[in-house]
Amino acid sequence: MSMTTIETLKAETVKLSKLEKLEFMQFLLEVLSTEERALALTSEQERTLHRRLEELQSGRVQPVPAPQVKAKLVKKYGLQA
C-alpha cells in the first residue's frame, strides 16, 4: 500500500463520527486478529497463554463473558455490538 493511500485513509478517518471511528477500529482489529492467527506464537506468548489458561482452570481468575464486555463498550463508547 502506498503512503498516499495511507494518508488518504488517515484524512478520511478524521472526518468520521466517533461511532464510525470505533466501527472502523473494530474492523481493523478483526483484520489484524485474522492475520495474527495465521502467525506462529513466540515462546513468550506460548508461556503467557499457558499461564493464563492455568489461572482460568484453577479458578484464580474469572473470565468476563463477551456479551458483558460488548455491553460495556456500547455503554461507554456507543460501539455497536
* CA–CA separation, 78 and 18 (whole Å): 8
* Higher local confidence (pLDDT), 39 or 68: 68
61, 71 Cβ separation under 8 angstroms: no
* CA–CA separation, 6 and 8 (whole Å): 5
Break the chain into its structural domains and give their ranges. Answer: 3-77
**pLDDT at position 81:** 52
Closest CA to 19 of 79, 81, 73, 76: 79
Q: What is the pTM of this model?
A: 0.44
Closest CA to 81 of 17, 19, 12, 13: 19
- The model's pLDDT over 16-67, given as tens digits with 9 standing for 90+, comes to 999 999 999 999 998 988 887 777 788 999 999 999 999 999 999 999 999 9
**Is residue 12's pLDDT more than 80?**
yes
